[in-house]
Structure 1
Amino acid sequence: MASLFFSSGLMNIAGYSSSGREIHWLFSVFAGVIMCKIVYELTGAFSLLFFKGYAKLNDAEKLEWNNRGFSTVHALVVAVSSLYLLLFSDLFDEGSYDELIINRRSTLSDTILGISLGYFVSDLAMILWHFPALGGLEYVLHHGLSLLSIFLSVVSGQGQIYILMVLFSESTTPFVNLRWYLDVAGKKNSELYICNGVLLFLGWLVARILLFVFFFYHLLIHFDQVKKVFPLGFYSLLTVPPLLAMMNVVWLWKITKGMLKTLSKARHSQ
């Protein structure tokens, strides 16, 4: 079953009709929204059954607890799929197809981008509805930029390799969410909290800093292809990633300070 799924995902869908592609990615967006709703409800239900402290949380904490549930699932889905498409499939290999790398897409890549659109729409809607309980303006900016970039790529079919690189950075989200869960659960002094903080720092450094360096390098050496992207998509590729990269650097600074503070506290308590 899995092999059939991945093999069909590698089939280039350039032969699809325009209306067929629209139906496909719209269905994927809808699937992403439904996924968020289902996981949100399941997170609350399972937490109530298996975590005694959940019932003691206030409404705002329960809201964020459940929200981080579907955030984690989305991160795992897009990170694994992006890694597969970028490294283990031949979709973006140099010389594997006659099509320019900038124009390559597949059933799987369209599906993942559509699901991710559904997630960002759902999460942004919750952030705005409960503002600022689930995040401040930086989250609104991050989600807005992500929505714009993914939407332009999935509709045009261009630049998907770069969107997938950025989506892989979501692999750090489970560590961010676990850190919050442990804090709320009163486990801030546990070994798991400390280990998670170190892994978050290392993961952030690799997936949100070094990967972005490679992103800009790849963009530069393929700039002759990038210039062929339609105008709005071209300018978004030149502006959105640098903005996200700057936000990642700021967040890395905060993560580093938090990690060093936690490690120092742990060392002095021994």
Structure 2
Amino acid sequence: MLSSEGTNMAIKSYQSQAELLFKNYVFADSFVVYTSVVIGIFACKTVYEISRLISAVYFKSYSSLISSRQVEWNNRAMSTFHAVYITTVSLYFAFWSDLYSDNIFRGPITLRSSTLSTIALGVSVGYFLSDLGMIIWSYPSLGGMEYVIHHLLSLMGVVYPMLTGEGQLYTFMLLLSEATTPSINLRWYLDVAGMKKSRAYIVNGVVIFLAWLVARILWFIYLFFHAYQHRDQVMEMHNIGVALILGIPAVLSVMNLMWFWKIFKGLKKTLAKRE
């Protein structure tokens, strides 16, 4: 039998090996990236299943829907969860964290990143992969080609800064546009529940109009203005990074304007009927 002293030494040896393995494994960049993406996919699956179980019990309108519409119901719960998550995270990094503060001694803001910011982006990548997979699998019931294009652009815009650490600030600024998603999903739920003529539906339409104007029109203008102000730091990035952080918001801006026009016409029509 081993002596007490020998046992303690063996335990300490195993602890040292475990700590070394933990440090090499947990703090490896590849582990952080891939694990965060898997967490994002797992979170989406979990929210989807929870929505399916709860909705079947507490919402009568859910049980009356056909299978494809039930899938969309749960998919929208998933997208709402991601929108709340990424909006909160993006607000933190864009406004409250000092990671991207204008401190000349910390180097260009376009080249700054942290383990936490990379994990946050990885979870979002997991969502976009999950949602894009569902859209393609159920095409076109969950959205047409414009949704496929939107998600592909979003993936390109998030994967690059996640893997390289470049342009993460502008990625978080871009992802703040997801703040409009909960109100859009709520509008769909109200429609399915037969509340299209209710006051809540009218108020929701106004909220969508204002949220879209702020988060997807005016905010994008500020994003480009911010990039122009820091153009010398933007040019410190690789050409691919520069093209992505400027090109993707430009394309999305055009799509946002098209959708904003449809939102405006829909709101105008709804208010006219109300009068």
Structure-1-length-normalised TM-score: 0.90
- Residue 96 (structure 1) shift: 7.2
Aligned to 1:187: 195
Report matched runs for 1:104-143 at 5 Å: 104-143=112-151
**Candidates 142, 157, 161, aligned match of 2:165:** 157
What are structure 2's unaligned runs of at least 5 residues? 1-23
C-alpha distance in 1, partners of 2:125/2:105? 27
Q: CA RMSD in A?
A: 1.6
**Candidates 73, 96, 117, aligned match of 1:88:** 96
The 8 Å contact of residues 179 and 196 in structure 1, kept in 2 or not, is answered as yes
The 8 Å contact of residues 171 and 245 in structure 2, kept in 1 or not, is answered as no
Report matched runs for 1:63-102 at 5 Å: 63-95=71-103, 98-102=106-110
Aligned to 2:19: none
Taking only the aligned residue pairs, the percentage that are identical comes to 47
Deviation string, structure 1 residues 153-206 (Cα, Å, up to 9, x no partner):
110101001000111110100011000111111111111111111011100100
Aligned to 2:212: 204
Deviation string, structure 1 residues 34-79 (Cα, Å, up to 9, x no partner):
0110101111111111111111100111010000011000000000
Aligned to 2:29: 21
C-alpha distance in 1, partners of 2:88/2:268? 29
Matched residue type, 1:111: I
- Residue 18 (structure 1) shift: 11
List structure 1 runs of 4+ shifted beyond 6 angstroms.
16-19
- Residue 225 (structure 1) shift: 1.1
**Residue aligned with 2:128, SS:** helix
State which structure, 1 or 2, has the greater radius of gyration over its C-alpha atoms.
2
- Residue 107 (structure 1) shift: 2.6
Matched residue type, 1:165: M
Deviation string, structure 1 residues 91-135 (Cα, Å, up to 9, x no partner):
211117512100111232111110110000000001111111100
Deviation string, structure 1 residues 221-268 (Cα, Å, up to 9, x no partner):
11111111112112122311100011011111111111111111112x
- Residue 236 of structure 2 is aligned to residue 223 of structure 1: no
Matched residue type, 1:104: R
Report matched runs for 1:212-251 at 5 Å: 212-251=220-259
- Residue 90 (structure 1) shift: 1.3
Q: How many residues align?
A: 252
The 8 Å contact of residues 90 and 96 in structure 1, kept in 2 or not, is answered as no
Matched residue type, 1:107: T
**Residue aligned with 1:180, SS:** helix
C-alpha distance in 1, partners of 2:105/2:39? 30
Instruction: Give the stretch that moved more between structures: 75-84 or 92-101.
Output: 92-101
Matched residue type, 1:79: T
Structure-2-length-normalised TM-score: 0.88
The 8 Å contact of residues 61 and 192 in structure 2, kept in 1 or not, is answered as no
